[in-house]
Amino acid sequence: MQTSRLSSSGMPGRRANRGRERLWLYLVISVSFLTLEAFGPGVPTQIRAYANDVVAPVLYLLERPLRAVQGGLERLAGASDIYAENIEIRGENERLKQWREAALQLGRENERLRQILKVPKREVPPAATARVIGVGGGTFERSVLVGAGSNDGVTRGFPVVDVNGLIGRVLHVGRWTSRVLLVTDLNSRVPVRVERTGALAIAEGQNEGFLRLKFLPRAAKVQVGDRILTSGHGGVFPPDIPVARVSEIASDFIYLEPLGILAKLDYVRIMAYEAVPEVGGLLPGEDPADG
């Protein structure tokens, strides 16, 4: 009977057997990959970076109409509020002009004092400004793909910011693209300090929309609304970049809301800041004589 030669899927038995052999072959390959990821060196990051380069042109192509549609929808949704928004923006513009003048004056004064005291400059120049062209990680990682790579001077570990604050740091660098690990990723740890009190801590990603503040000294006082800045410790991030704001103080944890607009990333700035390794437990620029 013909049915006797068919497998459960309706395929001839011989073909099903070959299929099963191939299934085992591919399963062995994939489990080998996973074992390498777990216990070995894993797949070289450069291969992943180049894989992103391959797909980048398609993402560029698809991302533009998508942004246009999103922008159009947002404009449509916001059309009714334009008048009120215009008044608010005018007021804000006036306030910003005053702030700009004050900032320029302080900047000049700061520069003069630095020259007098021979303090080295702390400004970090941007390596590139890039557009977010893709996301990644599925459920397991919070990362984005940006359209700047080694051709633009981007190097692994460079911090990435948007207009409001820290976004993350560069994880893989291809020729034309880079993958940025977001501060909300479970593997992200950012050395921070509370702006108001100066207390040091670590902002830890949770793979959620918020961060958690850990290793804060017991005596340190924190309030909801406090700004959290990078401390510069560890040398991975430059100091004083806004990271988050304290959003909730629970009995066990302090929750932070990231200041970078992670929910709506468009353009980001990659800072040309090389990670400085700690030597002998001292932080860069720290003098043992200072105590």
Nearer to another protein, 67 or 196 (CB): 67
Which of 128, 130, 143, 194 is in the footprint of another protein by CB under 8 A? 143
Q: How many residues bind another protein (CB under 8 A)?
A: 64
Tell whether residue 171 is a contact of another protein (CB under 8 A).
yes
Q: In angstroms, what is the minimal distance from the CB of 80 to another protein?
A: 22
Binding window for another protein (CB under 8 A); candidates: 83-91, 104-112, 120-128, 204-212: 204-212
Phi, psi of 37 (to 5 degrees): -65, -40
The kind and range of the H/E element at 189 are strand 189-194
CA angle, residues 180, 193, 195, in degrees to nearest 5: 110
CB-based contact 167:183 (threshold 8 Å): yes
- The interface with another protein within residues 4-33 (CB under 8 A) comprises 7-12, 14-15, 18-19, 22-23, 26-27, 29-33
Residue 28 CB, nearest distance to another protein (Å)?
10
The answer to whether 208 and 140 have CB atoms below 8 angstroms apart is: no
Looking only at residues 35 through 64 of this chain, which bind another protein when binding is defined by CB under 8 A? 36-38, 42-43, 47-48, 51-52, 55, 58-59, 62-63
**254-258 and 242-249 beta bridge pairing:** antiparallel
**132 interacts with another protein by CB under 8 A:** yes
Q: Which CB, 70 or 105, lies closer to another protein?
A: 70
Q: Residues 93, 116, 264, 291: which binds another protein (CB under 8 A)?
A: 264
CA angle 100, 269, 199 (to 5 degrees): 70
**Closest to 257 measured CA to CA, from 194, 152, 200, 184:** 184
Compute the least distance from the CB of residue 18 to another protein, in Å: 5
66 lies in the site for another protein, by CB under 8 A: yes
179 CA to centre of own chain:
9
Write the DSSP string, 139-181: TT--EEEES--GGGT--TT-EEE-SSSEEEEEEEE-SS-EEEE
Taking the least distance from each CB to another protein, the nearer of 21 and 278 is 21
Q: Which of 136, 169, 139, 164 is nearest to 154 (CA)?
A: 169
Q: Is 267 in the site for another protein (CB under 8 A)?
A: no
Q: Which helix or strand (DSSP H or E) is residue 219 part of?
A: none
Torsion of CA 155, 129, 201, 136, to 10 degrees: -80
Q: Contact between 115 and another protein (CB under 8 A)?
A: no
Q: Which stretch binds another protein (CB under 8 A): 191-199, 220-228, 230-238, 259-267?
A: 259-267
- Taking the complex as a whole, the smallest distance from the CB of residue 245 to another protein amounts, in Å, to 17
List contacts with another protein (CB under 8 A): 7-12, 14-15, 18-19, 22-23, 26-27, 29-34, 36-38, 42-43, 47-48, 51-52, 55, 58-59, 62-63, 66, 70, 132-145, 171-172, 179, 182, 184, 186, 206-209, 262-265
